[in-house]
Structure 1
């Protein structure tokens, strides 16, 4: 058999042993040719394959690191704020609350709050309302809702209108928190009160015997 008669696919044999397969049966010769060709090609192919794996691994790691780095500041911004409150005040979200044991009417309670750079407590969500109810105990506490008459809307102490998150019972002009929800009475009735203020600068509190914040 001449070299010129071999198919091009078998030329790899000529580089190793041009005569060793001449006497083999056709099937065995094809198998031998395949093994020898693979021996010639496989080391380079394996190296390339390993190289591809390494590149893919590096790109995946770099992508994961980049995504994590970009998302990290967002996660920090989404963390809930935690109020720094003076002693005896209770923090909830970014606000501080004080539950006073002093008995005062609504007007006097609000004046005491203002002296402490605070206001009678207000709530803007059911979560905040449930927090107030949980800590008020069995006593009624004045909150910062008031109105001129039954014909007027309920207003907070900062003159923003109440959103009717929870109905207010009775026909009084000043609201208070009870174990049954929110009710109302005349402003001259004596009750305990609750103060609130945001962060460390203002507070929702009630009563006069309150530790002033620094």
Structure 2
């Protein structure tokens, strides 16, 4: 302010110059410019694993990492606005944080994906296409999973868990298990319903034969009216 400037400009009593002249001649040349970006407090999270889809999970959401690092462990630096992915001292990727309260959403940098058509992101249409290759009952199960959630992306993991059973068993067995589960009282079968059917072989159990229609017996021992009237001796 003006009063501060006036005070600093007053000459010294026992030496030449003023506070302003000393600052200009001696101190100002030693100053460095302020950083262009304000300092942010950050926290570090160590040893996170990059999933097969090329993303790392943080606060229920997913952020992309260069595909060459799939399966490795990386570290995360998180600030109020940014999430940065490090391996050692090398920064691999950075993302704006998703809004607070969001869940199962993805931030993906195009540069993190393989070049060309080798990479296809998993989404609801791709999951339904896989279910169609398994069978009609699997399609119904997957559709009901997506119908049971407010946003389709929230049902993707549950749908893929069901479809991946075909890798451990076979498409025919998974289709049979879906058919059995749909025939029960379960509105929207999940992995927890289908996996026990497959593990115990219930999908391979022989079908029960329908009961035979046998004629009613026309003969047999029949007590007469005299017996019930007290006439029997």
Task: Report the TM-score when normalising by structure 1.
Answer: 0.23
Greater relative contact order (CA < 8 Å, ≥ 6 in sequence): 1
Task: Report the TM-score when normalising by structure 2.
Answer: 0.22
